[in-house]
Every structure is written in structure tokens, then in C-alpha cells.
Structure 1
Amino acid sequence: MVQAAAALASRGGVEAMQMRTVAERAGVALGTLYRYFPSKMDLVVAVVSEEIDLLETSIERRPPSAATPAGRAVDVLMRATRGLMREPELADALIRSLIMAEVDTPFGDRMAGLLLRVSGEGLTLGSATEEQVALAGSLGSVWVHELLEMLRGRRTYEQIQRRIEIAADRLLAGFGA
């Protein structure tokens, strides 16, 4: 069901993710889809969660090798950017939906947790200080903004990489090497 939703969103944005169409594409009854995903936003959150799972798997297979916390964070964010930009319509749909979401989504916490793990050499949301969590979350927010700018055609990949490098250097300066 999640894969069917992602496929539809990649071709026509969230507007194409009509619940009936998703159910038909997934080969399930509409009631079954609603049992697992009571709303379209729940389905969007599931698609985003799957994308983050893929990113985390990539990181586990090939951890960032940069010597600095900022370098490792940039590696992760640019990998995520490359992955999302393979399907720009899906990326646009997901990012816009998350920004407009009226429900709490785990996206920010998951990205902050991932950035803490790679930047702070194993830090977690539970073991990091409030400041470290805030800084990792802020870097994730910068990335989302830059990604939106790229999707709007206002930034190139190289420009957002440079801007993320600058933000990461400043925000993660106190994390130690």
C-alpha cells in the first residue's frame, strides 16, 4: 500500500494519491487501506518513514567517512537529497505535505536522530543534550528549506550542498571530531 502510494505521488504529487486509487493499485479493498491509514496524511507519513528507512539502511551499509561531525552530517543530507531527487515529484509532494501537515509527524525527530548518530558518534535523542538535539533539528530544517528551494528551481545541487556545509560547520562546531 505504501509503495503504491509512493508510485502515485512520484507521478502526480500528493493530489494523485487518492485513497481509492491507492487501494486499487495496491490490490486491496478501500476499507483495508483505511484500517491501516485513516487519512491521506497517515499514508504520506508512512511513505516518508519508508524513505527514511532506506536512508538509514544506506548509512548502515556505508557509514559517512568524513573526519568531522559537520562533514558526516553533510554526507547524510546530500545522500538524502540525491535519493529524493531521483523522484522530484515525490520529493516535492512529501516535503510540502509535511510542511503543511496538521498532524504531528516523526520526520523532524527521525532526521535529528540520524544526524545526531552520525555527527555525535552514536548520540541518540535520549542521550544528547537539549542543545545538541536543537542544533541537529535546526540543521535538518535548513536542509528541508534548501531542498524546497532546489525543487522550486532557485538553487542547484551544488549551491544547496555549499549552504548545508556552511550551516553544518556552524551548528555542529561544538560536537567534537
Structure 2
Amino acid sequence: MRHSHAGTAAVPAVIGADGGDHAVHPPPAARVSSGVRTRSQHQRRKRIVQAAAALASRGGVEAMQMRTVAERAGVALGTLYRYFPSKMDLLVAVVGEEIDLLESSIERRPPSAETPDGRAVDVLMRATRGLMREPELADALIRSLIMAEVQVPFGDRIAVLLLRVSGNGLTAESASEEQFALAGSLASVWVQELLEMLRGRRTYEQIQRRIEIAAGRLLAGFNG
């Protein structure tokens, strides 16, 4: 079984006069100020990621120069580097943003196929259509998976999504090691097929057929 452990933020404590630990809480004004600053930082980060995606969609990785991204996002270059120390870190964030969009799409319109492999194919082909609307961006994202010098959680996130739709709500924690490995293998097949399509070696129909075959074999043991 796979297990994830979510960390919890530590609360500063001081030793009181009675020898016990007492949590130190910031005054209300400080908490409000911190909340505003966090929202501002989140919005700034989102602007940066969207600017990078827009540039990559028009010219691939080469167009995603850090200075150009900063100018498009309306932030100082130093600010950009505080959020993303390298272009690869920024590309990883763009990958994450694309997966977020896919997950939102799945939540709004869950796959309706009756079989686990049918639902998996629905998700992967929906992702293919979305990416191929912006082939330059798709190429940049796939290249980031192949050349990444930092961890790219793309495969695991796609695998978790496939587990959820194929296994009627399975999670990384509730799935067996074999189930997670099979979902991850299907995600890897899809990435490779997408790369072949970007290279002009596969048509959309060929990818769909190959994904259907792989899903049928890999997910045969999943409960419908």
C-alpha cells in the first residue's frame, strides 16, 4: 500500500511560568496581513505560470526565456527567480497547471464509460485533445518530462487520476502497490504515444487504439 504523510505547520511555543508549553499566536492584525500577502503571492505566482504557458504555446521551451516571462507577467526578474530558481522549475509548474485543468474537467464531467479501461481511455484522450490544441506547449511539456533535472510529478498525478476514475474512487493510499504500478504504466504508455504524435509518427486515431489496447490489458484486474 502506498501512504502519503501530509505535514502540518508547526505552531511556535514558549515555556510558560508553569513549565508548560503555550502556543504563541500572532495578533489578529498580523494574521490578516499574512493572509493578504499569501493571496498576493499566489496571484503573482499564477500570473508567472500563465505567462510561461502562453510563451511556450507559441514558441516552445526556447520562447520561455526567464526575462521574457518576467516582463509578460509584470514582475521583476529577481522576483521571478525567487518563485522559480530555473526555467525547469517554471516548466514543472506549467505541467502542474495543465494537470489541474484536466482534473477540473474530470470533476465537471466525469467519464461515463461502464468499464475501468473505458474510463481511463476517456481521460487520457481528453487530455490528448486538450494538449494538442497547443502543440508547441505540449511539446514543451513532454520535453520537460524527458529532460527534467528536477522532479516532475506528472506521471504520478496522472496515475492517481487514472486510479480514481478506473477504480471507483481509489486513491494512492487505498490502492495496492500493483494497482498503482499498473496505472503508472498506462500513464507512461500515454506519454510515449503523445510524444510519437508530436513527432508526426502517430495519428490521433492510432494513439486512441493503442491506448485502448494498453488500458484493456493493464486495467483488466480493476473492479468496475
Q: Could you say whether these structures have the same fold, taking a TM-score greater than 0.5 normalized by the shorter chain as the test?
A: yes
List alignment gaps of at least 5 residues for structure 1.
none
List alignment gaps of at least 5 residues for structure 2.
1-47
Give the counterpart of 2:162 among 106, 115, 123.
115
Give the counterpart of 1:11 among 26, 44, 58.
58
| Cα distance in 1, alignment partners of residues 222 and 147 from structure 2 | 32
Question: 1:112-171 CA deviation, whole Å, 9 max, x = no partner?
Answer: 000000001101111100000100000000000000011011110000000000000000
1:85 counterpart = 2:132:
yes
| Cα distance in 1, alignment partners of residues 167 and 120 from structure 2 | 9
| Cα distance in 1, alignment partners of residues 91 and 210 from structure 2 | 28
| Cα distance in 2, alignment partners of residues 57 and 121 from structure 1 | 17
In structure 1, the residue matched to 2:194 is 147
| Cα distance in 2, alignment partners of residues 99 and 138 from structure 1 | 16
Letter aligned with residue 118 of structure 2: G
The offset of 1:89, in angstroms, is 0.5
Counterparts of residues 153-172 of structure 1 (less than 5 Å): 153-172=200-219
| Cα distance in 1, alignment partners of residues 180 and 112 from structure 2 | 22
CA RMSD of aligned residues (A): 0.6
In terms of mean alpha carbon deviation, does 102-111 or 73-82 score higher? 102-111
Letter aligned with residue 108 of structure 1: G
| Cα distance in 2, alignment partners of residues 17 and 132 from structure 1 | 37
In structure 1, the residue matched to 2:73 is 26
Identity of aligned residues (%): 89
In structure 1, the residue matched to 2:98 is 51
In terms of mean alpha carbon deviation, does 38-47 or 166-175 score higher? 38-47
Counterparts of residues 96-115 of structure 1 (less than 5 Å): 96-115=143-162
| Cα distance in 2, alignment partners of residues 142 and 153 from structure 1 | 17
Question: 1:54-95 CA deviation, whole Å, 9 max, x = no partner?
Answer: 000000000000000000000000000000000001000110
Letter aligned with residue 192 of structure 2: H
Letter aligned with residue 106 of structure 2: I
Partner secondary structure for residue 127 of structure 1 = coil
The offset of 1:101, in angstroms, is 0.5
1:94 counterpart = 2:141:
yes
Letter aligned with residue 154 of structure 1: R
In structure 2, the residue matched to 1:64 is 111
| Cα distance in 1, alignment partners of residues 154 and 199 from structure 2 | 21
Partner secondary structure for residue 102 of structure 1 = coil
